[in-house]
A and B are shown apart, each in its own frame.
Chain A
């Protein structure tokens, strides 16, 4: 069998295998196992929804009903700050409101800016490593790779001190800088792809008098757009869900992202009878952008995660 034959041979083998295995009890067990795994994975998302559309008082009286108890949009109104205090108290809210839309906006700014910078700077650096010839290239690249092996734990406190010294606490710049400029993994990942591109097109463009920069932006980046999108999605998910670093460098709600806002909301809710319905509405607001992203790019996300692991 050769590389050329393999892809065409595989579907045939698969259909054959499928007909043979259809009735096997092992397959039934496998599907039951998968159903359980998927059930456990997805159930908390359903429970979030079910609780977020419930009246908090009614829900506490009937905690195990599979459907929303006393269906209401109240929890979302409380979270978005459009419920009146009386209405909020009547439905079991605390009466206090969280500026969740503001946190949401901060998260969008934080995740977008840092992902855009990180991917852009990685892309141009990857080009230098993959396509240009210069003395020291292998040395610099292996130093960068070493950073990939080192866990980030040691740099957190000193980076906080540095950001503080630069006067960037409670600014987006301070939140973004440590990840925006340098990402060993992204550079490594993109370099691999760029090495795989045929350079005949590039050479032709250069001979036609195009500058290197023009080649980079007009040819190489468009040809690498697949992996660039992949890294952008993964980067965005990572930054959107980041908690520890923003926790260190921000204390001011005007720049804090949603993860911090939600954590404050959770930690400050009363120990007895917290507003679970409101909390679940807040988690939905926090998770929704990711879920929308997932609906739009699901296939790409799934494949890119597997792919990023193999690299």
Chain B
């Protein structure tokens, strides 16, 4: 009687879609569908061209490039696994991977914890669009703008953050210029920029949970905290899985903030030389496209594996609903 779709007013299309698809084959021969095939191919031609030329072809070509010596000016020459051997012995690559993983762990963990708490608090306290609008503001600006503003605020001598730390009697921090602080600072900027977006998606997910569940919980005497862990988190799991995957993929490809906020980009002394930055430097600094492609392929493979593992761990397709 009460399917989970009793509450989520947000999903009418998906539900309707399901019921409509079941009916589809019945009117397959309807006269109104004569000539559909030709029109359909006309309508999808731009997308098919885009798909083949700018998605499929470059993917295959990227894999090919990673087995070649290619410096852009002359044609690529096949060198088998040489790039991969070089990659395994490339200390800079492993350092770069370590820096990236360090960044991803801090950035994603902080983003998720703050976003989940914020979404849950919003959900229990207010439905105001203004509040959600303020929280989402950083999503609207580019990583370049965010990085510029924060490098001013985190400036070691004149930045307001250090002024505040001094006011409380603390020691000033060399946020973007000290090796040990550079990645945490970049992660801070990243969290500031992405937290709001993530929490609004989670908030929308929370709204699909029927309020009656909380009423029932309260009648049973559950506290807000225990309801958060026993009801909210399990019911939110499918959307949480999506959000985790999107955040990890996004964080692994961080580039804008590093490129603008650190000097030289990736510095100090390679402390923020994240993978995307290293790929960029190899490809567009040294024009070593073969090797840069090999690294892209490695990053690509890692992302696919991580995504797959996460989906398995979070059992994304099942919800605890019902």
Binding site for B on A (CB under 8 A): 1-3, 6-7, 10, 13-14, 26-27, 30-31, 33-34, 37-38, 40-42, 44-45, 47-48, 51, 60, 63-64, 121-122, 124-125, 127-129, 132-135, 137, 140, 143-144, 147, 149-151, 153-159, 161-162, 164, 177-178, 180-182, 184, 187, 192-193, 195-196, 203, 206-207, 212-213, 216, 237, 240-244, 248, 259, 262-263, 266-267, 271, 276, 279-280, 282-283, 286-287, 290-291, 293-294, 298-299, 301-303, 305-311
- Residues of B close to A158: CB separation below 8 A: 57-59, 61-62, 65, 293
Bound complex: CA A40 to CA B195 (Å): 11
Q: With CB as the reference atom, state the residue of chain B lying closest to A243.
A: B256
Instruction: Tell me whether A154 and B300 are in contact (CB under 8 A).
Output: yes
Instruction: Tell me whether B62 and A307 are in contact (CB under 8 A).
Output: no
Known: A41-B192, A162-B58, A243-B256. A207 touches B143 (CB 8 A): no
Q: B322 interface residue, CB < 8 Å from A?
A: no
Instruction: Tell me whether B145 and A286 are in contact (CB under 8 A).
Output: yes
Partner of A2, one of B2, B143, B202: B2
Instruction: Tell me whether B36 and A302 are in contact (CB under 8 A).
Output: no
Bound complex: CA A229 to CA B83 (Å): 46
- Chain B min CB distance to A21 (Å): 9
Instruction: Tell me whether A33 and B192 are in contact (CB under 8 A).
Output: no
- Residues of B close to A305: CB separation below 8 A: 136, 139, 197, 200-201, 204
Partner of A6, one of B59, B195, B210, B243: B210
Q: B89 interface residue, CB < 8 Å from A?
A: no
B253-294 contact mask (Cβ, 8 Å, vs A): 1 or 0: 101100110010100000000001001000110000100110
B130-172 contact mask (Cβ, 8 Å, vs A): 1 or 0: 0111111111111111111111110101111001100100000
- Residues of A close to B33: CB separation below 8 A: 132-133
Instruction: Tell me whether A3 and B303 are in contact (CB under 8 A).
Output: no
Instruction: Tell me whether B54 and A143 are in contact (CB under 8 A).
Output: no
- Residues of B close to A1: CB separation below 8 A: 1-2, 6, 212
Instruction: Tell me whether B54 and A212 are in contact (CB under 8 A).
Output: no
Known: A125-B46, A195-B16. A178 touches B39 (CB 8 A): no
